[in-house]
A and B are shown apart, each in its own frame.
Chain A
Amino acid sequence: MKVAVSTSGTTLESPVDARFGRAVGFLVVDLDSNETEYVENTQNLRAAQGAGIQAAQNVANTGAKAVLTGHCGPKAFRVLGEADVAVYVGVEGTVAEALARYQAGDWEASTGADVEGHWA
């Protein structure tokens, strides 16, 4: 199973990026094979609107089934939900730490967005 973590770096030791839609990028980790894939998100970092929607689309299309991030807005949450990707918010520390706690079952998946959208 693949898990995507929002991060400001590119490795397992990089910090988790608190933003989802405007994260610098995502590290997608296959928990079975330990293979990692870096997905850039700089195009959405600069977007005037809809960053969360596009980030969610790109993450879902990597095949990830869970997202670990700081915060997730309503539109991104809807896209991820539609794609059956579980969302975990409030995640901090490094990517490796976040994955370890996720695998230990420390968190529960969110049932909704934890922050408001930027547009009505």
Chain B
Amino acid sequence: MKQTIAVASGKGGAGKTTVAVSLALALTDRGEEVCLLDCDVEEPNCHVQLNATPVSQEIANVLVPLVDKKRCDGCGACSRACRFNALAVLKDDVLVFSQLCHGCGACYYACPRGAIREVDRELGVVRELDADGLRLIDGKLNVGEAMAAPLITQVRKRAPDTGTTVLDGPPGTSCSMVASVEGADYAVLVAEATPFGLHDLGMAAEATRHLGVSLSVILNRTLGDDTEAKAFLDEHNLNLLGCIPDDRQVAECAARGGVPYRDVPSFAEGIRQVLDRLLEVTRS
């Protein structure tokens, strides 16, 4: 059976990548079949933290319309079908703004004259990497490219049909985050116990619930008194998996290029406890 656990946060810098990488390693240590997906395609970092070796790489494209002007009679059906406003139909011409195209194919199906065919436009690459036996798949969006969601979808399509997939999502609550969390079996939201962190956690939780995905929270880098954060979780009816205390050793390890889960025993123990609770809520 396949299980996908998405890690998200709302706020950037909350610790998504560190938590996602650590959960993947902790699951591997339990002898499970694990695949880590880095869906933060604008700044994929899992490979940096894991010092992973690229195994293969493929160009990722999105299908965009190409209009055969000899067949087109300017009826405008393609433009009306496009919810991304990527087509302008004028009297003698059809303009395609392919950078706005999500590749949904609606224009292709809407055209009554078969005047549209779909051609590839490069978005970035999807890579397979190996991190000491842990399988990592990531996407890398080309610089200046705005279409993250179609690339995230392609990264997710590579996930294996068995085992547990841990997905490192992007910050925010817009298209990229939705494309990463939608359809996951469970979401783990990593939050800083700060006013910014809790505010953005609230947004991320709302978006996740809207997608129909159950979720729990990890409070990261807590500093002793987390009464306020826990009150926020209660108020928003959010389940707490655990707190990871602020620890200079973790920061130093990461700054050195190390893997905190491997090098900082107290941190690894915290992750294992969080994972135990996560598996209780997701597999019971």
Binding site for B on A (CB under 8 A): 44, 47-51, 53-54, 56-57, 60-61, 75, 78-79, 82-83, 119-120
Contact = CB atoms under 8 A, between A and B. Distances in A.
B85 A120 contact: no
Given A57-B79, A119-B146, A50 B91 contact: no
Given A47-B85, A50-B84, A79-B95, A120 B145 contact: yes
A79 B84 contact: no
Contact of A50 (B86, B90, B93): B86
Contact of A119 (B90, B91, B100): B100
Question: Chain B contact residues (Cβ within 8 angstroms of A): what range?
Answer: 10 to 19
26 contacts: A44-B85, A47-B85, A49-B84, A49-B100, A50-B84, A50-B100, A53-B85, A53-B86, A53-B97, A53-B100, A54-B88, A60-B88, A60-B91, A61-B90, A61-B91, A79-B88, A79-B95, A82-B88, A82-B90, A82-B95, A83-B91, A83-B93, A119-B100, A119-B146, A120-B99, A120-B145
B144 interface: yes
Nearest to B143: A120
B162 to A, nearest CB: 37
Contacts of B100: 49-50, 53, 119
Interface string B247-264: 000000000000000000
Nearest to A50: B85
Given A48-B84, A50-B100, A82-B90, 18 more contacts: A47-B85, A49-B100, A50-B85, A53-B86, A53-B100, A56-B88, A57-B88, A57-B89, A60-B90, A78-B95, A79-B88, A79-B90, A79-B95, A82-B88, A82-B95, A119-B100, A119-B146, A120-B145
Contacts of B85: 44, 47, 49-51, 53-54
Contacts of A75: 97
Contacts of B91: 60-61, 83
Contacts of A56: 88
Contacts of B87: 53
Contacts of A79: 88, 90, 95
A100 to B, nearest CB: 29
Contacts of B79: 54, 57
Nearest to A47: B85
Most central of A47, A48, A57, A60 by chain B CB within 10 Å = A57
Pick the 7 closest A-B CB pairs, nearest first.
A50-B85, A57-B88, A79-B88, A83-B90, A54-B85, A120-B144, A119-B146
A57 B88 CA distance: 6
B99 A119 contact: yes
Contacts of A82: 88, 90, 93, 95
A120 B97 CA distance: 11
Contacts of A78: 95
A89 to B, nearest CB: 19
